Amino acid sequence: MTDARVHPAAADALSSSSAATSAKDSGEYPVPPNPLPTKPVPPPDTYVVQIPREQILRYPPPENARKFEALTRRGKSRRSCCRRCCCFTLSAIALLVIAAAISAGVLYLVFRFKSPKYAVSSVAIKGMNLTTAAPISPEFDVTVRAENPNGKVGIYYLKGSEINVFYLDVKLSNGVWPAFYQPKKNVTELRPAVTGSGVILGGTVTASLRNQQSQGNIPFVVRAKVPVKIKVGSVKTWKITVKVKCDVVVDALNDKAKIVSNDCDYSVSLW
């Protein structure tokens, strides 16, 4: 029969191993610590670096310094070029104005230039039918008297002119001012054919014309725009635009109409 006794040392070892196993299974067995990092970890703080605004705007990085300087010089050169162009343009305009004023002054002082005179001497009217609302085609045979009172100056009336007849704001007819040369101390009568087509008067304008016709006092406005050149000796000026405006009042709307009053004025555009 075998003896069941165990040596005390073996029993202690067995009990220690059993206790360690039970402690590990129950979660009470101590966990070995994590290994230490090789470098220290900085604390979790936030650092804000502030740079003066003047340095950001005025001091570019060294690698961009040349580019910044080139752009700065280019902007300055462009502004300088624009200033020079503006100054040159203004100076040229001022010189032209001064030259024109001097030329006009010389013409007046040397040649005693006198203004031309214009007048409407007769008007014959056709096609002014006020008994219908249909479009009308009025015709105005206007005789214009142009006088050049200057003794040393001639006037060239050039192509590209126009002449119109209005009642109130309605254009009734249009035509062309004849092109011709008017010598010194000359009076010329022009008879441009001024016609209209498909003119719609409207009720208000028709009623006004009837009222004026019953009174024998019908006002019209004759406007002309004519390019001219002034000749002094053998020298011609540049093209000048003359605008003539005549307020004409007639007594009837037919070919035997007579002028009751006539007032003409003109203006000159040098350019």
Could you report the per-residue pLDDT of 88-126, keeping only the tens digit for each? 788 888 888 887 776 666 555 455 678 899 999 999 999
DSSP β-bridge partners for residue 263: 247
Do 130 and 93 form a contact (C-beta atoms < 8 A)?
Answer: no
Kindly list the domain boundaries of the chain, sorted by start residue.
55-111, 117-269
- Reported residue count of the chain is 271
pLDDT band of 14, cuts 50, 70, 90: very low
* Alpha carbons 222 and 123: distance in angstroms, whole number: 11
Domain 117-269 adopts which CATH fold?
Immunoglobulin-like (2.60.40)
Considering the entire predicted model, what is its pTM?
A: 0.61
